[in-house]
Amino acid sequence: MLAPKGKPHCIIALFATLAGLVNFQEAYSNSYPNTAYFSFRNYINESYIARGVVNGMPEWIFTWVWSLVLNIWFIGLLFGVFCTPYMTDNYGRKFSLVLANIVSLIGTILCTAAIAIKMPELLFFGRIVASSSCGVSFITLILFLQVNNK
Ligand SMILES: *[C@@H]1O[C@H](CO)[C@@H](O)[C@H](O)[C@H]1NC(C)=O
């Protein structure tokens, strides 16, 4: 349906759209949390205060929690990367790409819900879901672009 059929401007448009859709999650989720450090600190602390932890989260525990929230991204990414050959060999590149983007959307919804319901654990889990889908889509996109457009 969207096959560029060798037309250069269509190929560039397709590549740009795919790169935007697939790589946005990766770039955004890696860079945004660091710029919003204080907002996340307040969010996590207030979530614990709302649960009845009277003095909130001590600074040193927060440092660990924050490191976990940030770095779980790469564990999920690695997991996704290792799953990619299985996915693309068994289900094809296009299906893997679409599935990875759907899972990425689910991860994003989980992270958004985690903020809304003040549940940092869900944010952590949502980041694993989103990052593993990023690992799949990242590698699948490269395969897709190389093989489909020779
Ligand atoms: C959480 O809030 C409490 C009470 O306001 C404060 O003492 C504590 O330092 C805060 N912890 C973090 C990690 O911001």
37-85 pLDDT tens trace? 899 999 999 999 999 999 999 999 999 999 999 889 999 999 999 999 9
CB 69 within 8 Å of CB 121: no
Name the one residue in this structure whose structure tokens are 């059929």.
5
* Angle, in degrees to the nearest 10, between helices 59-91 and 93-116: 160
Task: Decide: residue 102, CB within 10 A, 0-12 exposed, 13-18 middle, 19+ buried.
Answer: exposed
Q: Whose CA is nearest to atom 7 of ligand 1?
A: 55
Cα separation, 121 vs 140, whole angstroms: 29
Residue 42 CA: nearest ligand 1 atom is 14
The pTM for the full model equals 0.82
At residue 16, what is the residue type? A
Distance 47 CA to ligand 1 centre (A): 11
Mean pLDDT, rounded, of the chain: 89
Name every protein residue with a CB atom under 6 angstroms from any ligand 1 atom: 41, 45, 55-57, 59, 62
Q: So what's the pLDDT on residue 145?
A: 81
